[in-house]
Amino acid sequence: MKITLEVDVLTNNNRAAAFNRQLFEETNTLVINIMSSPGAGKTTILEKTIEALANEFRIGVIEGDLATEKDADRIRALGAQAVQINTHGGCHLDARMIAAVLPQFDFQHLDILFIENVGNLVCPSGYDLGQQHKVAVLSVPEGNDKIPKYPTMFMRTELVLLNKIDLLPYLDFDVEQAKEDLSCIHPQSKLLPLSAKTGEGMDEWLHWIREGVARCKKQSISQ
Amino acid sequence: MHEMALMGEIVQLIEQDAQMKKIKYVKKVELLVGTLSNVLPDALQFAFDVYKMQANNCLTMNAELIIHIEKAKAVCAICGSQYEPVTKIAQCPACLLPSGNIVAGETFRILAYEGSLTHENYIGS
Instruction: Dump pLDDT digits (tens) for A28-78.
Output: 999 999 999 999 999 999 999 999 999 999 999 999 999 999 999 999 999
Looking at residue B56, its pLDDT comes to 87
Q: Which amino acid is at B85?
A: P
Return mean pLDDT, chain B. Answer: 91
Check if B121 contacts A (Cβ < 8 Å). Answer: no
Q: Does the pLDDT at position A157 exceed 80?
A: yes
Hey, which CATH number is domain A16-215, 3.40.50.300, 3.40.50.2300, 1.10.540.10, 3.30.950.10?
Answer: 3.40.50.300
A55-59, A201-205, A216-220, B84-88: lowest mean pLDDT where? A216-220
A6 vs B1, B18, B111: nearest CB: B111
Segment (H or E) for B19: helix B3-20
Residues 6+ apart with CB under 8 A from A77: none
Check if B21 contacts A (Cβ < 8 Å). Answer: yes
First-to-final CA distance of chain B: 35
User: What gap in Å lies between CA B70 and CA B60, rounded to an integer?
Assistant: 27
How does pLDDT run across A115-131, given as a tens digit for each residue?
Answer: 999 999 999 999 999 99
Instruction: Judge whether A30 and A113 are in contact, CB under 8 Å.
Output: yes
Q: Give the SS3 label for residue B4.
A: helix
Check if A221 contacts B (Cβ < 8 Å). Answer: no
- Could you tell me which residues are beta bridge partners of residue A84? A63
At B119, the pLDDT band (50, 70, 90 cuts) reads low
A5 vs B1, B5, B110: nearest CB: B110
Looking at residue B67, its pLDDT comes to 98
Q: Which domains does chain B have, with CATH numbers?
A: 3-72+104-124 (3.30.2320.50)
At B125, the pLDDT band (50, 70, 90 cuts) reads very low
How does pLDDT run across A133-146, given as a tens digit for each residue?
Answer: 999 999 999 999 99
How does pLDDT run across B15-62, given as a tens digit for each residue?
Answer: 999 999 999 999 999 999 999 998 999 999 999 999 999 888 899 999
Residues 6+ apart with CB under 8 A from A23: A29, A102, A107, A130
Looking at residue B121, its pLDDT comes to 47
* Residue contact B2–A92, C-beta within 8 A: yes
Q: Does the pLDDT at position A25 exceed 90?
A: yes
DSSP state at residue B68? E
A2 vs B14, B18, B114: nearest CB: B114
**Between these two residues, A98 and A222, which has the higher pLDDT value?**
A98
Q: What percent of chain B has pLDDT over 90?
A: 77
B68 marked among binding-site residues: no
Instruction: Judge whether A15 and A7 are in contact, CB under 8 Å.
Output: no
Q: Does the pLDDT at position A14 exceed 70?
A: yes
Work out whether strand A2-8 and strand B25-34 pair parallel, antiparallel, or are unpaired. Answer: unpaired
Q: Does the pLDDT at position A9 exceed 80?
A: yes
Q: What distances in angstroms separate CA A29 from CA A67, A113, A132, A213, B91, one per listed residue? A: 27, 7, 9, 7, 38
